[in-house]
Amino acid sequence: MSTTTVAHHEEHAEHPSGIMRWLTTTNHKDIGTMYLTFSLIMFFVGGSMILAIRAELFQPGLQLLNPEFFNQLIGVHALIMIFAALMPAATGFANWMIPLQIGAPDMALPRLNNWGFWLLPPSAILLTLPFTLALFGIGDGALATGWTFYPPLSVQGGIGVDFAIFAVHLLGISSVLGSINIIVTLFNMRAPGMTLMKMPMFAWGWLITAFLLIATIPVLAGAVTMLLTDRHFGTHFFDAAGGGDPIMFQHLFWFFGHPEVYILLLPVWGFIPQILETFSRKPMYGYKAQVYSFWAIGALSVVVWAHHFFTAGMPVPALLYFMYSTMAISLPLAVLFFCWIKTMWKGSMSFETPMLFAVGWIILFGIGGLTGLMLADVAADAQYHNSYFVVAHFHYTLFAGGIMGIMAGTYYWLPKMTGHMYSEKLGKLHFWLTAISFNLTFIPQFFLGLAGMPRRIPDYALQFAEFNMISSIAAFVLGFSQLLFVYNIVSCARGGKKATDQVWEGAKGLEWTLPSPPPYHSFTEQPIVK
Amino acid sequence: MKNEALTVKEQIDLKNKKLVTKLVWLVIGSLLFAFALVPLYDVLCSLTGLNGKTSNTAAVISMAKVDNTRWVNVQFTTNVMPGLGWNFYPKQSSVKLHPGKIETVIFVAKNTTNEVATGRAVPSITPGIAAANLKKIECFCFVNQSLKPGEEKEMPLRFFVSPELPKEISDMTLSYAFFPAVKN
């Protein structure tokens, strides 16, 4: 009832200025900018935590951090990077670009969009507040269980666990609201003539991500709620003495946790092919094959979860099932890799910063995928499990595959969003520093893991010293080179060479038909797509 | 209900509202699914014996004949969980028996604190597939055990291994973890 009457008020050209503009905005571009800015800030918060950890791991022995604080940093680093840096970055691009790419005036549910964003800052505060409280003698710091919340440790832990549980609730609500908004926008707001199979790849990636979020985030919410009632209300979901089972938590958690990997990656798989086709100046290869691969990966991702805890104890048939189904994901992924490479094949390629990141991304993400295949092997996993090999593997998928992909997207769309060209020289420097220091950080960790160094431990045996030293130095280079990224973004937002509408010579799609930057209200008349 | 009088924008709003309702149901469905997994997990585990859980009630003494043609080695291991200041160990670390033969093994628990404490032993069997074949006739794990300060108690476990135990299994481990008892 009320929606039809309220709807007319949104046509205002006027909007409040100053802080109220950002607090009350329902404009998809404003909200997208807020998501992206929040993500960038949290990227540095999470990054400084891991630099403290790398500083501690520079040498064997305990120098800087006590073990409890070390454990807290490990868990909060992961939660922040996943939920507060990577996911909001993808959602920020979705807000900015999906309406422009499908020729819609705005997201379908603008007000919901505003709530979705403003749930994020409180949850970031909830995650980090226990650190500050501990300084004043309240509680014993943030959650120290690692981001996975495994009981019984998480049932015994201090108030940090409760804070993290509520933060996860808020983050989950935010993601679910965002997903509902994106699905409704993609289904109902496309320009006339744009069928689902004509949607840009980025829209497809997000559509699958949104459905995965809706299917799995509530399971995580349920699992952490059970944890909360186990902690405070006398239930025994995960307590063996009361008839529960701590292993069940691992099943519930990873039922969410594995699709989460694809939730983080699918939006990136969406826009990377768009970048590749732009800078190869030829049409994307295998659009349909890529869309079907997205479906296959989305479907497979929810039935493979137990490969995260092969060593927890499972009968052989279950081990085999989870091994083969996990390995099966590499088939549609191989199709994607083939399409990405074939898109560049014999193209008239040029290597501006977004393309450098995209090509580097293919190689590094490929390493992440192949080492994942090694981990999926039940027999071999007994050696790799819970070692630094796993740490290196998932940083190749989530830092290279996730964050470096997001960086490619940032450089690709930044001129469109700000109307100015960024400094190509600094961008390229940023790429080479990032790619080289990233590899120097994590390649040693593969070897450390193979040699038996366990993850999440603040001290280590002497034979691991050299590789840890290399890894720590490279991690600091990696961390500090990200300041170049910020400098480039900020100076690009402030001014610089004017960007053309199309920005890139080979760019295709509706977003490149608009002026740079696009007007506050765009596509109020929907374009017709042939 | 399509209405010609509605503007394009109103029609889209109506369509959006319908889709949002469906998606919200999907979210609620997923949440219910998470809680439904709890009983489903137990059902699956007891059907297949996946996680080595054994029955919590006494088994009926088997009329089946003792299978003298094969030996099974049953090993015992014990743990005391944090929060319970007890010593807890079996009097023998393993027993070799024929399937079908009833054995008694004595477990000893001693309260080393100066407070009365109640504990509950939770059994688990490796390999999990053998869990259904270990039949307990009498076990201290069926009920809570209370120990006075310094009290030492000998607790019997009477059991047999069912002759239906898969042929390839010749060793199994029965593990007991003593937890502080849960208040009900």
Question: What's the CA dihedral at A451, A454, A458, A461 to 10 degrees?
Answer: -30
Structural domain boundaries in chain A = 34-513
Would you report the helix, strand and coil content of chain B in percent, each value rounded to 5?
25, 35, 40
Measured between CB atoms, does A219 come within 8 Å of chain B? yes
What is the reported pLDDT for A373?
95
Q: Is the pLDDT of residue A12 over 50?
A: no
The minimum CA-CA distance between A292 and chain B, rounded to whole Å, is 22
What's the pLDDT band for A4 if we cut at 50, 70, 90? very low
> Which sign, positive or negative, has the C-alpha torsion A306, A256, A221, A390?
positive
Cβ of B41 and A234 within 8 Å? no
The yes/no answer on whether domain B72-180 falls in CATH 3.40.470.10 is no
When scoring A2, A219, A254 by the number of chain B Cβ atoms within 10 A, the one with the most, hence best to mutate, is A219
What is the reported pLDDT for B50?
65
Count chain A–chain B contacts defined by CB atoms under 8 A: 100
Q: Is the pLDDT of residue B36 over 80?
A: yes
SS3 B74: strand
CB proximity list for B168: less than 8 A, separation 6 or greater = none
Among A525, A496, A470, which Cα is nearest to A415's? A496
Could you give the CA distance from residue A304 to residue B172 in angstroms, rounded to a whole number?
A: 29
Measured between CB atoms, does A302 come within 8 Å of chain B? no
Closest residue, chain A, to B6 (C-alpha): A4
DSSP string, A141-209: -B--S-TT--TTHHHH--HHHHHHHHHHHHHHHHHHHHHHHHHHHHHH-PPTT--GGGS-HHHHHHHHH
What is the reported pLDDT for A291?
97
Across the interface, of A109, A180, A215, the residue whose CB is closest to B30 is A215
Among A414, A436, A434, which Cα is nearest to A424's? A414
Q: Which residues of B touch A187 (CB under 8 A)?
A: 19
Closest residue, chain A, to B180 (C-alpha): A241
- DSSP H or E run through A48: helix A28-56
- Please give the DSSP secondary-structure letter assigned to residue A498: B
Beta bridge partners of B91: none
As a whole-number percent, the residues of chain A with pLDDT over 70 amount to 97
What CATH number has the domain spanning A34-513? 1.20.210.10
Could you give the CA distance from residue B87 to residue B110 in angstroms, rounded to a whole number?
A: 5
Would you report the helix, strand and coil content of chain A in percent, each value rounded to 5?
75, 0, 25
Q: Which residues of B touch A242 (CB under 8 A)?
A: 182
Closest residue, chain A, to B83 (C-alpha): A156
The minimum CA-CA distance between A242 and chain B, rounded to whole Å, is 6
Strands B86-90 and B103-111: antiparallel
CA A497 to chain centre: 31
Residues 149-178 on A with a CB inside 8 Å of B are 156, 176
Q: Which residues of A touch B50 (CB under 8 A)?
A: 314-315, 318
Measured between CB atoms, does A286 come within 8 Å of chain B? no
Among A335, A358, A203, which Cα is nearest to A278's? A358
Query: Do the Cβ atoms of A411 and A357 come closer than 8 Å?
Result: yes
Measured between CB atoms, does B13 come within 8 Å of chain A? yes
What is the reported pLDDT for B48?
66
Q: Is the pLDDT of residue A1 over 60?
A: no
The minimum CA-CA distance between A40 and chain B, rounded to whole Å, is 29
Q: Is the pLDDT of residue A10 over 60?
A: no
Among A214, A28, A202, which Cα is nearest to A106's? A28
Query: Do the Cβ atoms of A274 and A509 come closer than 8 Å?
Result: yes
Residues 348-407 on A with a CB inside 8 Å of B are none
Structural domain boundaries in chain B = 1-48, 72-180
Could you give the CA distance from residue A109 to residue A159 in angstroms, rounded to a whole number?
A: 36
Q: Is the pLDDT of residue B184 over 60?
A: no
CA A487 to chain centre: 22
Closest residue, chain B, to A112 (C-alpha): B20
- Poorest-confidence range of A189-193, A288-292, B133-137? B133-137
Beta bridge partners of B105: B157
What's the pLDDT band for B166 if we cut at 50, 70, 90? confident
Measured between CB atoms, does B38 come within 8 Å of chain A? yes
Average pLDDT for residues A97-114, to the nearest whole number?
94
Q: Identity (one letter) of the amino acid at B79?
A: N
Q: Is the pLDDT of residue A323 over 90?
A: yes
Across the interface, of A216, A245, A252, the residue whose CB is closest to B51 is A245
pLDDT in tens, B77-124: 999 988 899 999 999 999 999 998 888 999 999 999 999 999 989 888
Closest residue, chain B, to A108 (C-alpha): B16
Its pTM surpasses 0.80: yes
Measured between CB atoms, does A237 come within 8 Å of chain B? yes
Could you give the CA distance from residue A493 to residue A496 in angstroms, rounded to a whole number?
A: 8
Average pLDDT for residues B39-59, to the nearest whole number?
72
The minimum CA-CA distance between A313 and chain B, rounded to whole Å, is 7
When scoring A176, A225, A526 by the number of chain B Cβ atoms within 10 A, the one with the most, hence best to mutate, is A176
Q: Is the pLDDT of residue A263 over 90?
A: yes
Q: Is the pLDDT of residue A146 over 60?
A: yes
Class of residue A4 by CB neighbours under 10 A (exposed 0-12, middle 13-18, buried 19+): middle
Measured between CB atoms, does B17 come within 8 Å of chain A? yes
Among A404, A295, A422, A300, which Cα is nearest to A357's? A404
Across the interface, of B27, B50, B183, the residue whose CB is closest to A218 is B27
| CA separation, residue B26 to residues A184, A242, A252 (Å) | 13, 32, 18
Residue of higher predicted confidence among A152 and A473: A473
Measured between CB atoms, does A241 come within 8 Å of chain B? yes
Q: Which residues of A touch B20 (CB under 8 A)?
A: 109, 180, 184
The minimum CA-CA distance between B175 and chain A, rounded to whole Å, is 13
What's the pLDDT band for A354 if we cut at 50, 70, 90? very high
* Phi, psi (deg, nearest 5) at residue B118: -115, 135
| CA separation, residue A205 to residues A172, A202, A299, A435 (Å) | 19, 5, 13, 25
Residue A324 in tokens: 């083969």
Closest residue, chain B, to A252 (C-alpha): B34
Average pLDDT for residues A450-466, to the nearest whole number?
95
Q: Identity (one letter) of the amino acid at A298?
A: G
Average pLDDT for residues A87-115, to the nearest whole number?
94
Q: Is the pLDDT of residue A6 over 60?
A: no
Q: Is the pLDDT of residue B131 over 90?
A: no
Q: Which residues of B touch A177 (CB under 8 A)?
A: none
How much is the ipTM here?
0.85
Among B131, B180, B117, which Cα is nearest to B159's? B131
pLDDT in tens, A479-521: 999 999 999 999 999 988 999 999 999 999 999 999 999 999 9
SS3 A214: helix
pLDDT in tens, A391-429: 999 999 999 999 999 999 999 999 999 999 999 999 999
Number of C-beta neighbours around residue A442 at 10 A: 26
């600091």: which residue's tokens? A476
Kindly report each contact of residues A516-521 with a partner whose C-beta sits within 8 Å and lies 24 or more positions away, as own/partner.
Answer: A516/A415, A516/A416, A516/A418, A516/A419, A517/A416, A517/A417, A517/A418, A517/A419, A518/A29, A518/A100, A518/A416, A520/A13, A520/A15, A520/A27, A520/A29, A521/A13, A521/A27, A521/A105, A521/A106
Measured between CB atoms, does B183 come within 8 Å of chain A? yes
> Which sign, positive or negative, has the C-alpha torsion A191, A194, A199, A203?
positive
Average pLDDT for residues A441-451, to the nearest whole number?
96
Q: Is the pLDDT of residue B51 over 80?
A: no
What is the reported pLDDT for A3?
41
What's the pLDDT band for A441 if we cut at 50, 70, 90? very high
| Mean predicted lDDT score pLDDT of chain A | 93
Could you give the CA distance from residue A372 to residue A376 in angstroms, rounded to a whole number?
A: 6
